[in-house]
Amino acid sequence: MKLVGLIDCNNFFVSCERVFAPALVGRPVVVAGNNGGCVVAMSGEAKALGIMRGLPVFKARDLMRRHDVVVIPGNHRLYGDLSARVMSTIESVGTDIEVYSIDEAFIHFPDMEPENVEKMAREIVIKVRRDVGIPTSLGIAPTKTLAKVAARVAKKNPAQRAVYMIDSEERRRDALRKMEVGDIWGIGRHLVARLKKIGIGSALEFADMPESDIRRVVNVTGQRTWRELNGVACVEKDPEADVKKQICTTRTFASSVSDLPQLRELVSLFMSKASLKLRRQRSAAKGISVFIQTNSYLKDSRQYCNSVYRQLEEPTNDQLTLVSQSIDALDDIYREGLSYRRAGVIITDIIPQEAIQPTLFSSADDRAKRNRLNDSVDHINSMSEIHDKIRVAATSHENYLIPGLSIPL
């Protein structure tokens, strides 16, 4: 049976804030919009107090004071960076993913026995929590819509240990029975009102409707959702999903690295790999981020984790430019005397290569020369039996990476 998964980051914005502020774990936390006017995300503890998304902060100010709720202005650059790290970590397990939103992705599992799929799913959840610090829930099913249902079960039922698989008729019906029709992916409020008028309140009641009634009551999209709930895959992979909106390359080192020159070499290597992916999809980037992190498992050691964003003067996919910018960004956040165990680069704000708007002072001749250089290097490396035969001079310390986690081209 071919299975698809939906991985969902739990309370994503709040979880991102907790990565850099562990003292917030267990406390009620609210993330406010950029202007601080409305609640855009909340922790489970805040939700239990009755705080909901979209609530104006001023209306809940007294409640928040009484319960010592922490209110944080949204940092969407941070959330985008951590989202890219989550998606990169999922891909490193060897799965084909389709990013659905900043905190969700569909996972297309290899064709294998269901018990092996579930084992891989648990490995993914554990790895994302360990390497990025973000808790997730993962639902597995024969269709995308059922995978969404399964992810909801995994999130709401701690006994499932963050993973739930719909691999039988009994599990499918049990999951749908406990779900309201309005919570089904793709069912809007107008259709919910129409269904409730004819006595359809649960997802199972909707799935059990005769096909003749479905054709009469709902549109083509609703019919597709009905088939998906009955185990017939109808939602195809988005053809644009392969064009990544962010490219993230992160790795854990085999041993801690303290020396700045060694970190520069590793970050340069990461950016070289990431820039190749950018050129392969004929895109350019308007910004990059670099992050470094100490070993969080060494509780007696000084902990440090930081990232920095650099906006580029002109969108580019030029390897030399991106490597240079990443080294400068690393220098801004490096702190001497610490042992770093993890680092990475994130290429963001990606646009089609044809949409590059040159700056007033850029040179068309220089861009043409760099494009020819990149094309030549990429071609030689693709034809060579030696991996990365030509590389930027700063990238010579691939041996610092944990064996088996080297970055594939």
pLDDT tens per residue across span 234-280:
887 665 555 677 788 888 887 889 999 999 999 999 999 888 888 88
Residue with tokens 């693709």: 382
Backbone angles phi, psi at 85, to 5 degrees: -70, -40
DSSP structure string for 349-372: EEEEGGG----TT--HHHHHHHHH
The confidence band for 405, taking pLDDT boundaries of 50, 70 and 90, is very low
Contact between 67 and 30 under an 8 Å Cβ cutoff? The reply is no
pTM greater than 0.75 (yes/no)? no
| Model confidence pLDDT, tens digit, residues 175-199 | 999 999 999 988 888 889 999 999 9
CA distance 78 to 84: 10
Q: What is the mean pLDDT of the chain?
A: 85
Give the distance, in angstroms, between the CA of residue 360 and the centroid of all CA atoms in the same chain: 35
More confident residue, 408 or 235: 235
Q: What is the DSSP letter of 237?
A: P
| Model confidence pLDDT, tens digit, residues 140-182 | 999 999 999 999 999 999 888 999 999 999 999 999 999 999 9
Which structure tokens are listed for 109?
Answer: 């599992």
